[in-house]
A and B are shown apart, each in its own frame.
Chain A
Amino acid sequence: MTSCCTISSSPHSKDPVVFDEYFGLGKEETVSPFITPATRHWGANLTLKSSAIAAGLLILAFALSFFSSGIPLSNLLLAAVYFIAGVPSLIEAIEDLLSLEINIDILMTLAAFSSVLIGSGMEGALLLVLFALSGSMEDFVTAKAKGDISSLHKLSPTKACVIESDGTLIERSIRDIEIDTIILVKSGQVVPLDGVVIEGTSSVNLVHLTGESVPVTRGVGDEVPAGGRNLEGALTVKVTRTSADSTLARIIQLVTQAQEERPRLQRWFDKLSKSYAITIILLSAFFAATLPWFIDTPYLGIEGSIYRALAFLIAASPCALIIAIPIAYLSAVGVCARQGILLKGGITLDALARCNVLAFDKTGTLTSGDLALQAIEGVNGASAEELKQALTIAYALEKNAVHPIAKAIVTYGQAHQLPVVSLKEFQAMPGHGLSALAGDLPVYIGLPNYIASKISAASAEELMRKLIEPQERGELIAVLLIGQKVFLLRFLDTIRPYVRSTLDELRHQLGLRLVMLTGDHENSAKRIAYELGIKEYHADLRPEDKLRYVSRLAETEGLAMIGDGVNDAPALARATVGICMGEVGSTAAIDAADVVLLHDKIELLTWLIKKARQTQKIVKQNLTLAAIVILAASIPALAGFVPLWLAVVMHEGGTVLVGLNGLRLLRR
């Protein structure tokens, strides 16, 4: 039998978390457990580095091609470009072909390598480099998204302390724990599995699961979900769900499902690119085979049908189309980054531009999540002197506590420089409150029910009656008892600065519908909604309820969801666009979101949505321009009216124009 304490440290010197990181990040080479930590950085952003090197070599090759003595060297560099940028594309294209998947990648690779056959290796290399660059950026974005589930898993403990039938403790993997097993959750630990408390009382913080920042009291008979943090006393819990079935596992499942269902626009692009590639490849083959039947041209030679079909294939290769979208998005992403807005993929901007509804989480997003002491009052009236003394005692009681209410009282006490009175016989009742002696006078602070048990029935009734009104206003209450004198301390969640003016701009300038979705209780939500002028709000939502609202709005109207907690992660992933507060946001929420406001500046939302709409406009212009260029170059090239060099110039010229148009977005 082994004690939990003795096995908590690993017998190995190396950090076993390396496996979590490796599998969590999709088996990335940079976190391979087999590679020495000192050399892992050699593999960082490898695709981006290799495409940048290929681009550099291509520029050199192009420059050398103007000098007759430099042509062999230019050809050598071109071969290197084909090796660095072409081999990965070729492998991918062959694998796609073998799995009967015809897509734009195959078309690009085919066009690039075919261009060598008609003496246009430089153009082919350019296609490959652009292709590699866009691919490496895609990898970069994908790598970001992969962190998502791994951070959710990190929240979930992998072990639990099991109490055996003879009372001894043993640590077991949560996978091996069955329903009805008795586990011990110590103070400060995260609840490893869903269960029912069978012994002990404590405050449990469920902020990551429900968004509610104020801890809840859990005692015998109460349910505790996996992922909640036990703040005070030890809890003995009887497991009611296995690890595969726990609350946290369900949230992870929701995020996964939401992510899988999200990229509709991406699917549309994939579908389009597949049809485009098949059409162009089939057309090229068709023209190569049949042109001599219709017009007077041979199969071979520079006027031949095969030559013309290859020229058509290259001219129709979507070089301008491929950069039309990324260049616009990259410029927009760059300017957003300078403003402190991180976008996970430029395509997010397109989706954002089409959103008609903005949904906000409450705690941490519209409000700071910190409580502020609003007022103190005596239940049966009190003089100013009595109130001051009560505050001093409350400050002294809460000075060493960790509860958000304690934090609010301590912040108030420090701001108002309250004197520190000395207390003795200090006692903490986990999940209920605190008690001490101020001189010879017993003092208590805590939940209303806890204080009610310390006073007469009549006083308790009066106390409960007094609580109704502030609770209806959405205020949180702590009760202080000094001798027989009862005081109410009222707290409010504080609204972030600039939120009100930002919401006005979003509503009136941009014509957006605003909704508040929160796991907090109705009264608190109602107060915040009223103060911010939000007409539509939904409170007491569990993650799955929030997800249901978000799914409906995302499907019908296009929804941007702004949130910060783990409970928001599924909704952020499912929304048309998920926006997360970067500083207060949980890792899971940040990972699940498409947009991160790095400095929590909610006032940047108006600017961001305007930029998204401008980006969409420029993307449309670019797509039109690219399509015109492709049509104008490919059809005459096929007909033989436009010589190859002119087709290439038109093709590349269109690409440059599209690029310059996209760069306009760099302006703030």
Chain B
Amino acid sequence: MSTEPGGDSPAHFKGKDAIGHVAEAQARGLIASAEIHGTETPGHISAGADAARETAVALLLFWTILSALQAPPPAIALTLSLFAFGWLTWKCGRSAWLGWSRLERLHRVLGQEKWEIEHHRSQERSELKELYAAKGFEGKLLEDVLDVLMADDNRLLRVMVEEELGLSLESHEHPLKQAFGALIGTLIASLFCISGLLVFPSYGIIASSLIVIGIAGAVSAKYADNRWIPAIVWNMGLGALAFGCVYFLLDYLQG
């Protein structure tokens, strides 16, 4: 079938058989589509919830330190506002950057797969054969399926991307939209936490930041189809523990 010279060159398989190559490609696809850090799932709502949660934790910890240093309340509010502004820029830019970074990896993997389809057709057929044999196709039916899939390069690329690499097409939001979600999340969390501080200077920010952490955890859980009660409790508990780490250890700093 293949008209490519040296089509069965070991360079493509790198000493592996077709199924070994499929397994490697699937791993490559998983790495390409994974989030590096941050949200449970990609998307602007998830990015917003994650940014809100991190903002609340950062403001809470920063407030704890400033309070322990006995800074006057107006100065604390102003410092936290300035911090929130810088943090907003960072969270928003970082979210976009993570999205673009993932996109770059996905595009590279897609380009590699297209190249393989164009230059190593017989190997692609072998890989496809392994994939469809594993689904239960055999004999003439299997050969017919392969003929159909191999007839159209676009269709073949889609099948290889989705089934060999395990990637989902048209499923990722544009990085800028994701960044916009992070911006809104950070903004809401900052305003809510600092408002809490202004209204109840003593402990308002503790309550408001824990509320933000809880709500953001619930939103993330809903978006990822996870259970929301454990998500709220775990997130609030984690926030409280982080606060405790700073609050109790500050005693050593103050002597």
Contacts and interface: CB of A to CB of B under 8 A. Distances in A.
Given A32-B107, A39-B177, A43-B174, A17 B151 contact: no
B144 interface: yes
Contacts of A457: none
Chain B residues touching A, range: 35 or more
A11 B173 CA distance: 24
Interface stretch (A171-179, A354-362, A555-563, A566-574): A171-179
A301 interface: no
B55 to A, nearest CB: 20
Interface stretch (A19-27, A90-98, A107-115, A194-202): A19-27
A39 B155 CA distance: 24
Nearest to B148: A7
A175 B153 contact: yes
B254 interface: no
Contact of B121 (A12, A20, A36, A176): A176
Contacts of A37: 170
A36 B111 contact: no
B160 to A, nearest CB: 11
A178 B1 CA distance: 9
A327 to B, nearest CB: 30
Contacts of A11: 155
A19 B110 CA distance: 9
A441 interface: no
Interface in A1-28: 1-2, 7, 10-12, 14, 16-20, 22-23, 27
A32 B103 CA distance: 9
Interface string B107-145: 100110010001001000000000000000000000010
Nearest to B44: A39
A16 B160 CA distance: 12
Contacts of B150: 172-173, 176
A571 to B, nearest CB: 29
B167 A40 contact: no
Most buried by A among B103, B147, B156, B161: B147
A173 B153 contact: yes
Interface string B48-73: 00000000000000000000000000
A7 B158 CA distance: 15
A20 B154 contact: yes
Interface of A is mostly: mixed
A172 B155 contact: no
Nearest to B179: A42
A1 B144 contact: yes
Most buried by A among B153, B157, B168: B153
A36 B103 CA distance: 12
Contacts of B110: 22, 33-34
B147 A172 contact: yes
Contact of B155 (A12, A27, A40, A42): A12
B148 A19 contact: no
B247 to A, nearest CB: 33
A242 interface: yes
A83 to B, nearest CB: 9
A36 B170 contact: yes
Contacts of B28: none
Contacts of B118: 175
Interface string A153-177: 0000011000000000011110110
Given A2-B148, A171-B148, A175-B3, A29 B155 contact: no
Interface of B is mostly: helix
Given A35-B103, A158-B153, A159-B151, A175 B121 contact: yes
Given A12-B158, A27-B107, A176-B1, A34 B171 contact: yes
A173 B173 contact: no
A180 to B, nearest CB: 13
B251 interface: no
Interface residues of A, number: 38
A35 B173 contact: yes
Contacts of A171: 147-148, 151-152
A330 B2 CA distance: 50
Interface string A332-364: 000000000000000000000000000000000
A653 B168 CA distance: 54
Contacts of A1: 144
B153 A40 contact: no
Interface in A234-255: 242
Nearest to A49: B176
A7 B151 CA distance: 9
A22 to B, nearest CB: 8
B169 interface: yes
A18 B107 CA distance: 13
Interface of A: 1-2, 7, 10-12, 14, 16-20, 22-23, 27, 29, 32-37, 39-43, 46, 158-159, 170-173, 175-176, 178, 242
Given A17-B154, A34-B106, 17 more contacts: A2-B144, A22-B110, A29-B103, A32-B103, A32-B106, A33-B169, A34-B171, A35-B173, A39-B173, A39-B177, A43-B174, A173-B152, A173-B156, A175-B3, A175-B153, A176-B3, A176-B150
25 contacts: A1-B144, A2-B147, A7-B151, A10-B155, A12-B155, A16-B157, A18-B169, A33-B161, A34-B110, A34-B170, A34-B171, A35-B103, A35-B173, A35-B174, A36-B172, A39-B173, A40-B174, A43-B175, A158-B152, A170-B147, A171-B148, A172-B151, A173-B150, A176-B1, A176-B2
Q: 8 tightest A-B contacts by CB? A: A42-B174, A16-B154, A39-B174, A42-B176, A171-B151, A39-B173, A39-B177, A34-B106
